[in-house]
Structure 1
Amino acid sequence: MNGASAAASAAQVAGGPPEASLWSSVLVTMLALAFVLALAWLFLRLLKRATTMRSIDGRTPPQVVQAVPLGGRERLIVVRDGDHEYVLGVTAANVSLIDKRAAAPSPLAADHDA
């Protein structure tokens, strides 16, 4: 038996030409990769939805409006929570309330009113 007939009999035993087997393996791999990527995308969408915090009454969470570094670990931070803004002094050891005031309307809200 020569080499060509041995390769032909091996292809017949394997169920077809080796090129078809290679393409089917590539196709199965690509489908599995697409499935894993789709699952990852779905998981990230669900995670994003779960981590967008909203309170029970539907208010948005407090937002940091501005932060001004004052030193190595000291900062002055303006936080908006609902209709109020809080000016906080933040150090490595504690957080101090410096001022509380009514929140100014945001520029985006002014654009929607016009």
Structure 2
Amino acid sequence: MAFGDLFLHLLTCHLTLLSDDFGSDDFCSVVFDGFLLTSFSSKENVHRHTLRMLLHLHHKVLPSYMDTLLKTLEPPKQCSDSLRELYTQLTEKLESQKKSPPPSDEPPPLDLGLHPVGVPPPTPL
């Protein structure tokens, strides 16, 4: 029952609400090593739910842990196309994240591109 689609869907949805906690090695270890990765190789639905969750949380997971997960979650040769597609989406997101410049700590300028407009003189009554 713990690895049924309904439970996994609810679990991964609730885990996405704890996105900041994925920056902790201990939290990742409990979620992935202690639960999800214990049966992902024998149950494709666990593999699929894990990849879907990582598509939303990849930027919050520690980079060193994310590298390990990416190697571990590589789809086997005999798997569904949807699983292969999810893995490809995740790797593409990670590659685009590496290529884009890191976010700057300084706020962006507030130039909104608005041009000054003159105010017409009041009309006499």
TM-score by length of 2: 0.17
| Structure with the higher fraction of residues in strand conformation | 1
| Structure with the higher fraction of residues in helix conformation | 2
TM-score by length of 1: 0.19
Q: Which protein, 1 or 2, shows the higher relative CO under an 8 Å CA cutoff with sep ≥ 6?
A: 2
Larger CA Rg, structure 1 vs 2: 1
